[in-house]
């Protein structure tokens, strides 16, 4: 067995075994891909409460050699995240000392962010920059330090609590949407496994020691193999066609899909990328980047004269019937009456009605006679 402290340390409660998860095949696949190649850019998991998002992330950390699992609180400051430079030491002995932050602690491990959609956009942007480069840079007052930060980033979000900006959404390498509906067979398996783990975590974990160790070895072998797997012209053609069909913006999706397909091939023990590798990762890459094609709704059918009139409370913004403000009892001409009846007289819709002209009684006047010449 490995000396992984997350697997063997008996002083703490062990993590739920990754191999014991039920009903989360897509999530497990995405997490393994991001672990083999952290430069994929992390995994964004969308799902309701109680869908094993944090349990899966902790279980993944237990498979890594260092076993680091770092939880990023929502109230974290930038200095707590990236670290700080001890400038007092520079003044005293001329040496620059680095006070490591959460990124340094999470190196070669898992950095978990619950409700990442509620985290400040600036911190999310900074995190994704570090994950894409694998290097954390700290700069202050003209002094710069950097350290390696190969991190498997796992962010989770509940869509009921807010959305993530599209610019940040695109920067997450892989995306998994967890279904809230679980069939009865999977539900029973999940509940039984959880009850058994809660009753005796150590005994439950020992049941999966062999499978866990095999998965640890697969990850280590895949990490060593990815640098020896080339991207062929056929692979580039297939990836470009899929991304073009999805109408994604930019080429980030192409780069992530190539990396993910390579990681998938390495996990399967192959030194070349085949079509099944691309198909296995395509939806994980495109699900949050695919441009939605909204269908144009057809125009409403013309209203027939035989149809009943709408309720005025419902049709509040429809044109009201034309009113006659004339005080005269004279009937309108036939053409105007027909036009009003057909509802075609819309030329003055929205204009104020003409005010009525009052009729006043005028005293009779005596007629004037023409003067004689």
All structural domains of the chain, each given as residue ranges with its CATH number in brackets, are 5-86+94-209 (3.40.50.300), 229-288 (1.10.8.80)
The better pLDDT of the pair 268, 93 is held by: 268
Query: 265 falls in which pLDDT band (50, 70, 90)?
Result: very high
Residue 15 in this model has a pLDDT that exceeds 80:
yes
Provide the percentage of residues in the chain whose pLDDT is more than 70.
Answer: 73
| pLDDT at residue 154, as a whole number | 94
User: Dmax over Cα atoms in the chain, in whole Å?
Assistant: 139
Question: Is the per-residue pLDDT at 270 higher than 70?
Answer: yes
**Given this model, what pLDDT does residue 8 score?**
40
What pLDDT is stored for residue 100 in this prediction?
85
- From the list 97, 207, 218, 252, the catalytic residue is 252
Q: pLDDT at position 315, please?
A: 46
Q: Residue 46 — φ and ψ, nearest 5°?
A: -110, 125
Instruction: Report the C-alpha gap between 159 and 154 in whole angstroms.
Output: 16
E strands, 221-348, in order: none
For 354, the enclosing helix (H) or strand (E) is none
Average pLDDT of 224-252? Answer: 95
3-state secondary structure of 110: strand
Relative to beta strand 174-177, strand 152-157 is unpaired
Amino acid 10: pLDDT: 37
* pLDDT tens, residue by residue, 102-154: 998 889 899 999 999 888 888 988 888 888 888 888 887 677 788 888 899 99
The whole-number pLDDT of residue 216 equals 95
Report the range of poorest mean pLDDT among 109-118, 139-148, 221-230, 324-333.
324-333
Record the pTM.
0.72
Whether residue 252 lies in the annotated active site: yes
For the chain, the average pLDDT equals: 80
Give the chain's end-to-end CA distance (angstroms, integer): 139
The residue with greater pLDDT, 242 or 342, is 242
Closest CA to 154 of 194, 225, 106: 106
Gyration radius of the chain over CA positions? 35
Amino acid 99: pLDDT? 82
Please report where in the chains the tokens 């009003």 appear, as a residue: 340
E strands in 204-351: none
**Which pLDDT score is estimated for 280?**
96
């Amino acid at each position: 067995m490995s000396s992984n402290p997350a697997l063997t340390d008996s002083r703490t409660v062990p993590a739920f075994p990754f191999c014991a998860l039920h009903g989360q095949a897509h999530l497990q696949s995405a997490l393994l891909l991001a672990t083999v190649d952290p430069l994929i850019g992390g995994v964004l998991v969308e799902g309701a409460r109680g869908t094993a998002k944090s349990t899966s992330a902790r279980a993944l950390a237990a498979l890594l050699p260092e076993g680091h699992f770092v939880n990023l609180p929502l109230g974290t400051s930038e200095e707590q995240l990236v670290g700080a430079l001890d400038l007092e030491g520079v003044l005293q002995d001329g040496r620059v000392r680095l006070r490591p932050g959460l990124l340094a602690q999470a190196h070669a491990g898992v950095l978990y962010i619950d409700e990442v959609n509620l985290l400040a956009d600036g911190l999310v942007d900074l995190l994704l920059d570090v994950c894409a480069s694998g290097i954390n840079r700290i700069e202050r007052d003209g002094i710069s330090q950097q350290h390696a930060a190969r991190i498997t980033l796992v962010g989770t979000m509940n869509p009921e609590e807010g959305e993530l900006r599209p610019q940040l959404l695109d920067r997450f390498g892989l995306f998994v949407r967890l279904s809230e509906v679980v069939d009865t067979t999977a539900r029973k398996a999940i509940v039984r496994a959880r009850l058994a783990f809660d009753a005796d975590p150590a005994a439950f974990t020992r049941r999966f020691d062999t499978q866990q160790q095999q998965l640890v070895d697969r990850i280590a072998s895949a990490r060593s193999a990815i640098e020896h797997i080339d991207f062929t012209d056929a692979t580039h053609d297939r990836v470009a066609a899929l991304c073009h069909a999805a109408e994604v913006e930019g080429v980030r999706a192409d780069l992530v899909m190539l990396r993910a397909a390579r990681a998938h091939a390495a996990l399967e023990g192959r030194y070349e990328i085949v079509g099944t590798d691309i198909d296995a990762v395509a939806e994980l890459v495109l699900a949050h980047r695919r441009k939605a094609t909204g269908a144009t709704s057809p125009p409403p059918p013309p209203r027939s004269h035989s149809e009943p009139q709408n309720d005025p409370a419902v049709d509040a913004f429809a044109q009201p019937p034309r009113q006659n403000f004339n005080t005269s009892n004279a009937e309108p001409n036939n053409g105007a009456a027909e036009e009003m009846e057909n509802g075609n007289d819309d030329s003055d819709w929205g204009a104020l009605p003409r005010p009525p002209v009052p009729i006043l009684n005028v005293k009779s006047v005596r007629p004037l006679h023409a003067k004689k010449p």
